[in-house]
Each structure stands twice: as C-alpha cells, then as structure tokens.
Amino acid sequence: MPVSTTGSPNRDRRTTSAFRKGITIVAEFTWESALAELDRRRAAARELGGQRRIDRQHAQGRQTIRERITAAAKEFHEIGEFAVFEERSATGELLGKMPASYVCGLAQFGGRTVALGGEDFTVRAGAPQSYLDRMKGGLGGFVEDLAHEYRIPLVLFMEGIGGDVAAQAEKGHSYLVSSMSWQRSYELLSEVPVLAMVSGAAAGGTAGRTVLSHFSVMTKDSVLFAGGPPLVKRALGMDVDKEQLGGAKIHTGGSGAVDNLAEDEADAIEQMQTVLSYLPQSVWELPPRGEQTDPVDRRGDEILKIIPENRRRPYKVQKVIGEIVDRGSFFEVGGRWGKSVVTGYARMDGISVGVVASNSMHLGGALDAAAAEKQIRFVDICSTFHLPIIYLVDVPGFMVGPDAERGNVIRWGMRAIQSIIEAEVPVITIHVRKAYGMAVSATANPDSLCLRLAWPTAEWGDLPVEGGVEAGFSREIAAAEDPAEYRRAVEDRMHALADPWGTVEAFGVENMIDPRETREIVCAFINASRGLMETKRGPQQRRWSLRP
C-alpha cells in the first residue's frame, strides 16, 4: 500500500524546532511537512556562518569549506550536516543557531575513497566543536574514526583557531586541555595516508593537527602558528604580524613544519591528490601500480651530460632522477627546506617508490640537521606505506662548523642512520660521486640486502682526500722542506688508494655499472621485490625508541 503524504486520523505527533531561535512548535506528522523540515534544515546548513562572513572569506581570496569540498571531491556523502552551534553574546544571551563549525563525510578524492573533513571558518573561526556530544573532526572525532575503522585515507582542510575561550562558557567551567585525546590522530599515522591542506589561518590545535600528517601543503597567503600575534604580544611584548610570525614561506622554507607551498587552493588540492596516487589505501595494502608505458630498458644517455666531469662542479640532481624513474613521475616533497637532501615520490615501471638524493647544489650535499630531519620523516613514510627507496648518494659527510653543531647535526644525523636501518622496504643505493664519513651510513643498511650500485664517478672513504690529508698528516706537512709540494704528493698517493675499483674488486660495493643502465637494473630489482612487499603488508615494527 502506498504511503499517504496527507496524513491520517491515527498519524503520530512530532516536535520540530525553529532552527534559528529555538522556538518549539508542535505539529502533526505528515511526510510532506517532515521532508520540508529536512530540506529547510539542509538549506540552513549550507548558509554556514551567514552571507556576511562568507563574503569576507571570498574577499580574502579563500573558499568556504563547502566550496573546497565541491572543488576537491567528485562525490561527497556528508555526515552530521544538521549538527548546530548555539550562538550567544558575551553575556550569554542566545542569539540563534548556526551550523556546526566542521563539515565531514565520505568522499571520492583523486579517484580514491577517503574520509574528508574541514573546519568552517565562517562559524566561530573554525573552533573545535566542544558544544557537541561527539566531535565531528578537527582534533579526532567521527571523520578520524571513519578513516581508522574503514582503513581509508584521511584528507583534511585546515583553517581554524584551534581553541576558543568561549568554550568554557558553554561547559560552565574551564577545562584542562590534557583531557583532550590525541590518540586517534597518532594511531592513524601508522595506518592510513593522512594529507592536510592549510588555506587561511591555522593556529593552536589546528596547526598541531596539520603537522600530524604524511603530506601537508599550504597556500602562499596562509599562516600557521602555535599562538597568534595577540598571544605573542601578551606573552613576549613583541609586535609581529601574521606573516612574520608564521607565513607560508617560513613554514615551507625554514621550519619545515609544512611540506610544500601551493599557489592557490586548486594547486594545493592537486598536490594532495598527486601524493595520494603514490600511496595505498592503508598499510594493509600495497600502493596501486601505475601505467607501464615507459620502457624499462630506456637508456639514460643524458646522465653523462648532467654529471660534470669536473667532480667539484655541482649539478641538478632532479634532472638525474628524471632520467632514471618513469618519465614525468617524480614529485618532489619538501623542496624548500633541508635542501642538501632531495626527497620525493616517483614510479619505476609503474611501481611507487620513494627517492632520496644528495643535492650538490646546497652545502655541497653535506648532511645538516634540517636535511637529516627531512630524510628521517620521508624514509619513515616510505617504510610505513611499503615504498621501496632509491637513494642517490653524493655526500661529503655531515655538515661541520659552529652552526651545524648548534643545530645538533650529530643527533639528527644518527637518527637519519636509524631511519634507514629501521626501514622495512628494499633500499637501492646508487653512488653517484662523493661518499665520505658517517653520513654514508645514512644511505644504506649493511644488515639487510644492501644493494649498492656505483657509477665510475664514485669516490668514498673516511674523509675526503684533501681534508683528510690535512688532518692526518699536518705535522709531517708542516715539517717538510716544501709543505705545499709534500701535501700534493700525499694527496696523489691517497687518491690512488681511494680508487673505487679497489673496493669493487674486494666486493665492498655490490656492483659498478654504466650510469645509462641504471633504470633497467633498478627496475629489475624493484619488480623482483614485489613478492617480498606482499609479505610486508600491515603496520611496521619499530625496533628502537631513540627519537630526538
């Protein structure tokens, strides 16, 4: 029998609420009135914080959260769209109701099913939803539980103040922040890809949640900080503007708190989708294999032109990477900080890999604290999501000098070594040129298969010959009749002993290869490792707890 929409003598009585003013109206139930109420509330939810606040968001060159979701997601099934916030004056007077300050749900993002959510800055500047019985997202909440339970990636749009003094008025008392659980946010880092975009201002807890991700990106007009200018003024008596305090260039080019810089929101969304394409849905799966259109036996003839015959001259290692990996597949991560190491994702015969490379264009490729930290983070992500690592080595050692020591290069450098030792994925090391000192231990693991391939340009040892001669034979050189000539003679002898072929003949390195054959050889080993990687699915096992 069809359901009547006009009601009946025995129809139920239901209570509906006037959305904005909290006025209770008792009405008889009809399908027509019930669905009209649903539509009215849905329309009210889409008003966000009101047209004035939406206009202000647009005037600042930013989209609303719903516009971001529309631009990013092919499909979006919202959860909690009818949750509301009671807006009150400073004296506690009820002004009306507004949609809750978070929008979340299940989405199709870059062709993948993800849990997606973001703050609505037009409602209370995106403050946490302490007024709800259950958080929707932002600092834990439903959207993070969804990613955890369904084992799907989590995509976050971050724009909020992270905390709000008005919350204690809602609770009737102030609350201790340590009562807020971060457990789910940390659990997700070992389970599923977490990607975050900052557009606008991310402060306090919102800033903290941003960096708890595997890839983060912020638009060039955005800011991120633990506390904004008013708090800095109150605490330190300093007058700073938002850009000086935590502008995008600071965090993508100095602190490294955020991985990449984006021109605008469309660029940021595209970068997140690109990174996701290299990663699996969860650690219980392998990354999807891409197209296999680039021949594995393509020779890298350009490599001989890129690497200078003069070993003192730098070169663009990104160009070398481009000759080895699948054409056009390299996506650099963190390119504006920790510059003596280049990190990024690529594909080899369609298989996702992580690439780490010494950058001779910055500090001669010496590993400083920032570069070590960058390598640690990236290697850990590759190990978490089962991406084999290709490491191109041209490192003269740990960075030396007062600044390096103050930056704690030794601790960070040793952690870089630890990250490689702990990595549960194949590491294929290519010795391009220099490999000196302890920093070389951060490029391969002698306790695993440790496949190290060398090019004829490679050189290695405890110390570079020139500096090592000065350190080891300073007294003899000083006592010589002609110190300069004596130094040259010793250097010539040491260069002869440092001939890499001696190491190759002693099987101290696995093989010497023609650089033009690198792609074919690496693809063969990466393909051969697929069976191993099938057995590695699931969370990685940490063996040590040393952390800076």
DSSP code, position 367: B
Count how many residues are written for the chain: 548
User: What span, in angstroms and rounded, lies between the C-alpha atoms of 385 and 378?
Assistant: 11
User: What span, in angstroms and rounded, lies between the C-alpha atoms of 427 and 174?
Assistant: 51
pLDDT, one tens digit per residue, over 306-331 is 999 998 899 999 999 999 999 999 99
Residue 236 shares a structural domain with residue 321: no
Residue 349 shares a structural domain with residue 473: no
pLDDT of 168: 54
Two tokens, residue 475: 């007294």
Residue 531: φ, ψ to 5°? -60, -40
pLDDT of 384: 95
Residue 126 shares a structural domain with residue 145: yes
From the list 346, 327, 328, 341, the residue with the least C-alpha distance to 390 is: 346
- Let me know: does 119 contact 158? Beta carbons within 8 Å: yes
* Mean residue pLDDT across the chain: 86
pLDDT of 332: 98
CATH number at residue 378: 3.90.226.10
DSSP code, position 177: G
Residue 130 shares a structural domain with residue 241: yes
Residue 211 shares a structural domain with residue 329: no
Output the CA torsion sign for 122, 124, 126, 128. Answer: negative
Total domains in the chain come to 3
Give the dihedral of Cα atoms 59, 61, 66, 69; nearest 10 deg. 170
Considering the domain boundaries, does residue 547 fall inside one?
no
User: What span, in angstroms and rounded, lies between the C-alpha atoms of 547 and 540?
Assistant: 16
From the list 506, 325, 539, 275, the residue with the least C-alpha distance to 428 is: 325
- Let me know: does 366 contact 395? Beta carbons within 8 Å: yes
User: What span, in angstroms and rounded, lies between the C-alpha atoms of 6 and 29?
Assistant: 9
Considering the domain boundaries, does residue 2 fall inside one?
no
Residue 402 shares a structural domain with residue 473: no
User: What span, in angstroms and rounded, lies between the C-alpha atoms of 104 and 120?
Assistant: 10
DSSP code, position 287: P
**DSSP-assigned letters across all residues of 289-355:** P----S-TT---TTHHHHS-SSTTS---HHHHHHHHSSTT--EEESTTSSTTEEEEEEEETTEEEEE
User: What span, in angstroms and rounded, lies between the C-alpha atoms of 246 and 204?
Assistant: 12
Give whole-number Cα distances, 90 to 87, 97, 112, 176, in Å.
10, 15, 44, 22
**What does pTM read for this prediction?**
0.87
Considering the domain boundaries, does residue 124 fall inside one?
yes
Considering the domain boundaries, does residue 15 fall inside one?
no
Residue 153 shares a structural domain with residue 166: yes
pLDDT of 126: 72
Residue 445 shares a structural domain with residue 490: no
Alpha helices in 73-172 (DSSP H): 142-150, 167-171
Residue 254 shares a structural domain with residue 334: no
pLDDT of 545: 45
125-147 burial, b if ≥16 CB within 10 A, otherwise e? Answer: bbbbbbbbeebbbbbbbbbbbbb
- Let me know: does 441 contact 496? Beta carbons within 8 Å: no
pLDDT, one tens digit per residue, over 443-493 is 999 888 889 999 999 998 875 645 554 556 677 767 777 777 767 776 666
pLDDT of 8: 40
Two tokens, residue 192: 């599923």
Report, as ranges of residue numbers, the positions in the chain whose pLDDT lies below 70: 1-27, 90, 162-179, 463-473, 477, 486, 490-498, 542-548
Residue 368 shares a structural domain with residue 489: no
Q: How many CA atoms lie within 13 A of 409 on its CB side?
A: 18
- Let me know: does 331 contact 278? Beta carbons within 8 Å: yes
Considering the domain boundaries, does residue 485 fall inside one?
yes
- Give the angle 192-195-201 at the CA atoms, nearest 5°: 145
Considering the domain boundaries, does residue 519 fall inside one?
yes
Residue 419 is part of which domain span? 303-458+509-535
Residue 135 shares a structural domain with residue 189: yes
pLDDT of 2: 39
Residue 434 shares a structural domain with residue 478: no
User: What span, in angstroms and rounded, lies between the C-alpha atoms of 37 and 488?
Assistant: 89
Contacts 24+ apart (CB under 8 A), 31-37: 31/3, 31/4, 31/5, 32/5, 32/6
Considering the domain boundaries, does residue 545 fall inside one?
no
Considering the domain boundaries, does residue 183 fall inside one?
yes
- Ranges of beta strands (E only) in 204-306 are 215-219, 223-225, 260-262
